[in-house]
């Protein structure tokens, strides 16, 4: 009941008490009229409660910065028209203080569906919950009000904003190609049948295709295909103490956007990708490929918290056995952490290609320490060529898509 209801009931009870004590009929009349009005409005209000179902329509995928279009389909199931019904919803993805959305439905026609729609911009990645919408109705005097929740809570994920990467070279260190599928044809020991071609000196006699040789009157050999599926490990620093900056303009949020964009690029090339971070909760996604794996990775990046305490070097040491030799590692973190990454030596010994992406801490906060000089260890003779020349430095405010497009890959 509303405050107005309590006030009117107080007047009715007060009039009845005065009439009881004084015996004056006008007070009996006043209290009788008030009680009759309360009873009639109560029954009228109960009759005016609509029987409806509400279906919430959400887009399948929304990224940071996108506008979310929310549609609420109200299906009126009564045979009688209802009027002046309030529909209330709450939008958790908005950063505005006023998350409450209110719609006045002047008429709900029998057996018809009404649509309410609103838009809000999703400014921050995360996993949100839309609580059930509420529908309210009241009597004409606003004395009684009835509210009911409709439906169930709906989880909703806002993915981190990704940027387009046009090109990352398939070879940085002189090892085997590490982008997608690399096929090489041979007439020797191999995997899958590819076709036939003329015999060349050095081809195995066992690979001669005799029916084709007899038909063409020259030696023809069977040709095979070797296929390499390349493996990419993305490791990012999610330590709370290394998250420099504020909100979306912090090193942690930049690292998440870069990790998602790099993963999408290599998955589109057909590579196997695994992801790991040093957040407080377990943040690991094993090797996988394709659009489904990308979706799971984006779900993980949307929900991950930058709250870890484990040093990045410890994480690298724990992941050494899970990182295949001659694979590729993309390492994303603040610049002053790199001098502490002694486990990079072990990756170099496994002939792993390391692509360091350094977030320059002082550009995110003038009070942050920085140490770009000597950031990559050089104990191995290959490290200056494989690591130092491939460093990618990122500053706050840079256009990440343009930055990757203009990189002087070597």
172 assigned to some structural domain: no
- Assess if residue 201 is contained within a domain: yes
pLDDT, residue 409, reads: 63
The structure tokens listed for 390 are: 């491939």
* Within-domain flag for 171: no
The token duo for 370 is 């920085």
Q: Half-sphere exposure of residue 394, counting CA atoms within 13 Å on the CB side?
A: 26
Q: Check which CATH number belongs to the domain holding 396 and give it.
A: 3.40.50.410
Assess if residue 357 is contained within a domain: yes
pLDDT tens-digit profile of 231-241? 899 999 999 98
- Give backbone dihedrals phi and psi of 318, rounded to 5 degrees, phi first: -70, -25
313/349 same-domain check: yes
In whole numbers, what is the pLDDT of the chain averaged over residues? 80
Q: Which of 44-53, 175-184, 305-314 shows the lowest per-residue confidence on average (mean pLDDT)?
A: 175-184
Task: Determine which of 41-50, 55-64, 259-268 has the lowest per-residue pLDDT on average.
Answer: 41-50
At residue 153, what are phi and psi to the nearest 5 degrees? -70, 145
| Same domain, yes or no: 275 and 373 | yes
Q: Looking at the structure, do residues 119 and 243 belong to the same domain, yes or no?
A: no
Calculate helix-pair angle for 25-48, 3-22, nearest 10 degrees.
150
* 30 and 115 both lie in a single domain: no
Q: d(Cα 308, Cα 237) in Å, to the nearest integer?
A: 8
* Phi, psi angles (nearest 5°) of residue 328: -125, 140
Task: Please give the tally of structural domains in the chain.
Answer: 4
Q: Could you read off the pLDDT of 86-98 as tens digits, one per residue?
A: 899 999 988 767 7
> What's the pLDDT at 212?
86
> What does the pLDDT read at residue 50?
76
Report residue 228's pLDDT band, with 50, 70 and 90 as the boundaries. Answer: low
Q: Do 252 and 318 share a domain, yes or no? A: yes
Q: What is the CATH number of the domain that holds 63?
A: 2.60.40.10
Collapsed DSSP state (helix, strand, coil) of residue 387: coil
Does 214 share its domain with 79? Answer: no
- pLDDT value at residue 338: 80
Residue with the bigger pLDDT between 184 and 272: it is 272
Q: 155 and 253 share a domain? A: no
Per the domain annotation, does 167 fall within a domain?
Answer: no
Are 256 and 218 within one domain?
no
Evaluate whether residue 370 is within a structural domain.
Answer: yes
Residue 256: which domain range?
230-405
Same domain membership, residue 293 and residue 372: yes
Asked if 180 contacts 290 with a C-beta cutoff of 8 angstroms, the reply is no
178 pLDDT band (50/70/90 cuts)?
Answer: very low
Query: Is the residue at 165 inside a domain?
Result: no
Question: Quick one: 23 and 61 in the same domain?
Answer: no
Give the N- to C-terminal CA distance of the chain in Å, as an integer: 73
Q: Are residues 209 and 280 in the same domain?
A: no
* Position 169 in a domain: no
């Amino acid at each position: 009941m509303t405050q107005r209801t309590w006030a009117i009931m107080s007047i009715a009870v007060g009039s009845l008490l005065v009439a009881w004590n004084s015996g004056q009929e006008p007070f009996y009349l006043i209290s009788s009229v008030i009680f009759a009005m309360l009873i009639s409005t109560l029954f009228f209000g109960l009759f005016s409660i609509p029987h409806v179902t509400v279906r919430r329509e959400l887009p399948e995928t929304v990224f940071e910065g996108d506008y979310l279009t929310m549609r609420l389909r109200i299906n009126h199931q009564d045979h009688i028209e209802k009027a002046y019904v309030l529909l209330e919803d709450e939008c958790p993805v908005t950063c505005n203080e006023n998350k409450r959305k209110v719609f006045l439905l002047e008429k709900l026609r029998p057996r018809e569906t009404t649509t309410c729609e609103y838009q809000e911009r999703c400014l921050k990645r995360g996993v949100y919950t839309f609580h059930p919408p509420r529908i309210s109705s009241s009597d004409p005097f606003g004395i009684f009000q009835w509210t009911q929740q409709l439906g169930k809570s709906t989880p909703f994920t806002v993915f981190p904003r990704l940027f387009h990467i046009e090109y990352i070279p398939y070879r940085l260190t002189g090892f085997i190609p590490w982008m997608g599928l690399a096929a090489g044809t041979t007439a020797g020991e191999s995997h899958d049948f590819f076709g036939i071609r003329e015999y060349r000196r050095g081809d195995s006699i066992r690979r001669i295709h005799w029916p084709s040789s007899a038909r063409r009157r020259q030696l023809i050999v069977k040709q095979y295909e070797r296929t390499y599926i390349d493996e990419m490990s993305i490791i990012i620093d999610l330590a709370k103490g290394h998250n420099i900056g504020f909100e979306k303009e912090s090193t942690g949020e930049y690292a998440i956007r870069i990790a998602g964009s790099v993963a999408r690029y290599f998955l589109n090339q057909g590579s196997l990708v695994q992801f790991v971070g040093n957040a407080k909760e377990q943040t690991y996604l094993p090797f996988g490929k394709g659009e489904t794996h990308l979706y799971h990775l984006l779900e993980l990046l949307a929900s991950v918290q930058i709250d870890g305490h484990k040093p990045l070097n410890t994480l690298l040491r724990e992941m050494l056995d899970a990182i295949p030799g001659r694979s590729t590692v993309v390492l994303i973190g603040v610049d002053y952490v790199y001098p502490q990454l002694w486990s990079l030596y072990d990756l170099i010994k496994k002939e792993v290609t390391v692509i360091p992406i350094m977030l320059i801490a002082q550009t995110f906060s003038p009070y942050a320490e920085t140490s770009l000089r000597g950031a990559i260890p050089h104990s191995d003779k290959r490290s200056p060529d494989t690591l130092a020349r491939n460093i990618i430095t990122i500053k706050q405010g840079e256009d990440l898509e343009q930055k990757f497009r203009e990189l002087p890959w070597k």
